Amino acid sequence: SGTVTLVSGGAISQDEAASVVTAGTLTGSAATGVVLDGANQVANLGDFEPGSGAFRLTNARNLNLSGDITADGQTVELLVTGAISQNAATSVITASTLTGSATGSAVLDGANQITDLAAFNANGFTLNDAGGLTVTGNVNGGAGGVSLVTSGNLDLTSSVSSTGTVNLEATG
């Protein structure tokens, strides 16, 4: 599959019952937010900017973050049936809040710029953050463990749990 680019001067939304985005790579931008709630079949999420609104992607297969998700002051929500991976050399998530779930593991090991980590469930969860991070929602890594690494302060206002190993590192 090729690249699909979505661009809107307003919001981008999807009728979850009627449409599916199928793409090797999905990129795009919107002025006021992106909500893609169908059973999408996106292999790679490239550069995407949701403007002044949140970014939400529901995906029915493994998802690789291959570009930047630039959502300054906004929420990024990833809901994936499968695993989430991130190309640390080419992908950074910039957001006020990150939330989501994966039925497989979620390995977000780029130089991410996230202020708040809200609820996230996966079978193994890794997040690297290049600034301070506050855990504001319950994070559950299942049997796969949890690793939160930040170059700033790490504040826990909600639980971080796993039946595997939990690694919390803060250098701030």
pLDDT in tens, 142-152: 999 999 999 99
Largest CA distance in the chain: 47
Could you tell me what percent of the chain has a pLDDT over 70?
A: 99
Spatial contact of 115 and 133, defined as CB atoms under 8 Å apart: yes
C-alpha 113 chain-centroid distance: 12
Confidence of residue 100 (pLDDT cuts 50, 70, 90): very high
Q: Tokens 């463990």 label which residue?
A: 145
| Radius of gyration for the alpha carbons in the chain, expressed in angstroms and rounded | 15
- Cα–Cα dist 86/81, whole Å: 16
Q: Judge if pTM exceeds 0.85.
A: yes
What is residue 15's predicted lDDT score, i.e. its pLDDT?
83
Q: What is the mean pLDDT of the chain?
A: 97
Q: Which of 86, 85, 41 is nearest to 60 (CA)?
A: 41
Confidence of residue 18 (pLDDT cuts 50, 70, 90): confident
pLDDT in tens, 55-94: 999 999 999 999 999 999 999 999 999 999 999 999 999 9
What is residue 140's predicted lDDT score, i.e. its pLDDT?
98
Q: Report CA-CA distances (Å) from 70 to 34, 39, 84, 104, 113.
A: 12, 23, 17, 24, 9
Spatial contact of 23 and 3, defined as CB atoms under 8 Å apart: yes
What is residue 172's predicted lDDT score, i.e. its pLDDT?
78
First to last CA, the chain: 43
pLDDT in tens, 84-94: 999 999 999 99
Q: Where are the beta strands (DSSP E) in the chain?
A: 3-8, 12-13, 22-30, 34-49, 55-59, 63-65, 69-80, 84-86, 93-102, 106-121, 125-129, 133-135, 139-140, 146-150, 154-156, 160-161, 166-170
Residue 16 has pLDDT above 90, yes or no: no
pLDDT in tens, 28-52: 999 999 999 999 999 999 999 999 9
